Structure 1
Amino acid sequence: MPAALLPAWGQDGSAANVPAGGAGGMGKTPAAVSVLSIVEHPSLDALRDGLHDELKAAGYEDGKTLKWAYQSAQGNPGTAAQIARKFVGDRPDVIVPIATPATQAVVAATRDIPVVYNAITDPVGARLVKSMAPSGTNVTGVSDRLVAEQQVAFIRRVVPAAKRVGVIYSPGEANSVTAKRQMQEVLERQGMSLVEAAAPRSVDVGQAAQRLVGKVDVIYTSNDNNVISAYEAVIKVANSAKIPLICADRSSVQRGATGAMAIDYYTMGRQTGRMVLRVLRGERPGDMASETSDRLDITLNLAAAKKQGATISPELKAEAKEVFGE
């Protein structure tokens, strides 16, 4: 995205879109919150639900004090741009885009409506904000950035002998490209190597996984929405080839990956909801620093580990917040 698309909070520094709730909280007019997700999958759906529940807990009720709109772009950036333009035309009080492509579409479409993003690994690299400090624009939000060193350490705990780590990623998702680059840097410093397999579309995910067979000791997937939306194809390859599948997404473990050290996306949705509430009560997004989630939980699937040839130590199992397939 060109730098010119970085948003500004009004042309004169004033709030160009006054929240329905006002500085004192809920007003007589229902607060309008529009949510755009790049795709539907369990983690992003949990995030959306956490956001909605946080607003509900604060007294915002659908059809009465809250006008809630939600749409998914079904993984299509062009569709995301169309929905973003529609939402901007509706003039809601806040737009909440979920994931990088959705946020890029919204930020390109408005420079004044408050935007509270979520599930973006690298909001600075995606040219959405200049830094994680208050932006001075109409944009703030919550990043799901993961520390690559922690992810590699978890991989080594699950597969101690691993030397070659296969990564499936989407070249068109800035968050996925960033995560791959960071993983490669850390792996190389630790004497390991990364073997990449690109999947530009969801229909390419299974073929990308298949290309890794015979070349890697473990497969790792980040918070790549394109890959997660077609995760059953990755699980099928991992089970058939007996390659341990490690991920950064809790729901993917429940679906059939061996394990993850992951963010709780429902909790992150509640965190995003608290930022939205601040905007509805009159705060300017540009005065609010972007946030990250520091809470990481270990999730394991023992049945999947057996299928994929991984041995889970009693120590790791004891540390897990959730264990499936016992």
Structure 2
Amino acid sequence: MKRREFIVAVAATTASGLAILPIDQAAADTSQSRRVALVTSGQGVPVLELIRSSLKKLGYEEGKNLVIDFREAKGNYASLPGLLTDVIALNPDVIIAEATPAIAAAQQATSTIPIVMAPSTDPIGSGFVKSFAHPGGNITGVANMFGDLTAKTLDIVRLAFPNVKKIGVLISNNPTHPNLLDVAIKAAGAIGITAEGFIAANPEDLETAFADMKGANCEVVYVLADPPRPALPPIALNSGLPTIFQVSSYTAMGGLMSYGPEITAFFTSAASYVDRILKGAKPADIPVEQPTTFLFVVNLRTAKALGLTIPEQVLLMADKVIE
């Protein structure tokens, strides 16, 4: 397989739930500016930078014709309703909601302000849109297809760890995770592997979850998609459990393997949706996009630290190998 370059959106952990305003926002002429709210489920500064730069390429610049109202939940999803209340009070033209927890909170908060998903795991099943081609309401944006990738990911697990008998599936209180866990359990069973779910509702619960997986004799961990939690790769390494992630950002942070869509494309696409809406398009009429580029990444430095030898067949499948 041809190797492709992998662009990483690095995530970092900071204190939770405070607004961060652009440095030049105070200088903006808000009477002439379009107002965009960005609410992230995870740590949002990298997302903010990608959105900011993408909008600038489309002709929107803070201090000139754009105000961005930014709020981040940093993995504490219970804070999202309050963050949405804050930004809606500022009368945004569009809300960008990063990941399913923020999208669900935004949907509960408003049925009139346009919402751009960036991205959603299951926009139809979650009730965000009526169909990909005709969303039909005030929500449109990007889907990530994580559920569709589970069977292939577990095939990779089987190739990399041919003797594995049981995997732990790490979930949070992300509303899509129960369905994704069910998909993972069934896909694992189809190839003769037992799978069990373990919840880390908030970032501070990760160490306990890994200890529980270790105690339950899990040999490999499969981490369902969430906004990146930077503490996760070192906790996985310290536990001694090989871990494969749906979100590709994790391998650059020390995760062993990842398979999923190219992450940064979600946010450049979100900016394009914002542009179209600000120019008069209605979310109900703008089709939902799905990713076309998927990356399998292996971190050999982490494999060495775990004392693992990754089979050559698996390395040849990788789009990127970190050495």
Q: How far did 1:308 drift?
A: 2.4
Is the partner of 1:304 in helix, strand or coil? Answer: helix
Deviation string, structure 1 residues 59-115 (Cα, Å, up to 9, x no partner): 211110211221102333342111211222211111001112211111111111110
Distance 1:57 1:252, change over 3 A: same
**Aligned-partner residue type, residue 73 of structure 1:** A
Distance 1:119 1:48, change over 3 A: farther
**Aligned-partner residue type, residue 155 of structure 2:** A
Is the partner of 1:157 in helix, strand or coil? Answer: helix
* Identity rate, percent: 26
Instruction: State whether structure 2 residue 32 is matched by structure 1 residue 34.
Output: no
Distance 1:277 1:135, change over 3 A: same
Instruction: State whether structure 2 residue 218 is matched by structure 1 residue 216.
Output: yes
1:47–1:265 contact (8 Å) kept in structure 2 = no
Q: How far did 1:285 drift?
A: 0.2
Q: Which moved more, 1:311-320 or 1:66-75?
A: 311-320
Q: How far did 1:313 drift?
A: 3.0
Give the equivalent residue in structure 1 for 2:14: none
CA RMSD across the alignment: 2.1
The runs of 5 or more residues in structure 1 that have no matched partner are 1-27
**Aligned-partner residue type, residue 112 of structure 1:** T
2:122–2:145 contact (8 Å) kept in structure 1 = yes
2:51–2:268 contact (8 Å) kept in structure 1 = yes
**In structure 2, distance between residues paired with 1:313 and 1:59:** 48
**In structure 2, distance between residues paired with 1:49 and 1:295:** 22
Q: How far did 1:302 drift?
A: 0.5
Q: How far did 1:47 drift?
A: 4.2
Distance 1:317 1:145, change over 3 A: same
Give the equivalent residue in structure 2 for 1:197: 198
**Aligned-partner residue type, residue 29 of structure 1:** Q
Q: 1:311 aligns with which of 299, 309, 312?
A: 309
Give the equivalent residue in structure 2 for 1:265: 263
**In structure 2, distance between residues paired with 1:273 and 1:125:** 24
Is the partner of 1:119 in helix, strand or coil? Answer: strand
**In structure 2, distance between residues paired with 1:255 and 1:138:** 36
Distance 1:39 1:194, change over 3 A: same
Q: Which moved more, 1:228-237 or 1:161-170?
A: 228-237
Deviation string, structure 1 residues 246-291 (Cα, Å, up to 9, x no partner): 1112221122221111222112211222122111111100001222
Is the partner of 2:251 in helix, strand or coil? Answer: helix
Give the equivalent residue in structure 1 for 2:166: 164
**In structure 2, distance between residues paired with 1:210 and 1:290:** 39
Q: How does 1:237-276 map to 2 (within 5 A)?
A: 237-238=238-239, 241=240, 243-276=241-274
2:303–2:309 contact (8 Å) kept in structure 1 = yes
1:210–1:237 contact (8 Å) kept in structure 2 = no
1:47–1:269 contact (8 Å) kept in structure 2 = yes
Q: 1:283 aligns with which of 281, 284, 293?
A: 281
TM-score, L = length of structure 1: 0.82
Q: 1:153 aligns with which of 131, 152, 155?
A: 155
The runs of 5 or more residues in structure 2 that have no matched partner are 1-30
**In structure 1, distance between residues paired with 2:182 and 2:45:** 27
Is the partner of 2:106 in helix, strand or coil? Answer: helix
Is the partner of 2:89 in helix, strand or coil? Answer: helix
Distance 1:233 1:315, change over 3 A: closer
Is the partner of 1:161 in helix, strand or coil? Answer: coil
1:38–1:80 contact (8 Å) kept in structure 2 = yes
**In structure 2, distance between residues paired with 1:259 and 1:90:** 41
2:76–2:202 contact (8 Å) kept in structure 1 = no
Distance 1:93 1:126, change over 3 A: same
Deviation string, structure 1 residues 148-198 (Cα, Å, up to 9, x no partner): 11211222232222231111111x211222221111111112221102212
Deviation string, structure 1 residues 93-143 (Cα, Å, up to 9, x no partner): 110011122111111111111100113212233222233332221111112
Is the partner of 1:53 in helix, strand or coil? Answer: helix
TM-score, L = length of structure 2: 0.83
Q: How far did 1:223 drift?
A: 0.9
Q: How far did 1:145 drift?
A: 2.3
**In structure 1, distance between residues paired with 2:281 and 2:189:** 44
Distance 1:309 1:218, change over 3 A: farther
Give the equivalent residue in structure 2 for 1:117: 117
**Aligned-partner residue type, residue 247 of structure 1:** F
Q: How far did 1:231 drift?
A: 0.7
Give the equivalent residue in structure 2 for 1:94: 94
Q: How far did 1:232 drift?
A: 4.2
Give the equivalent residue in structure 1 for 2:73: 73
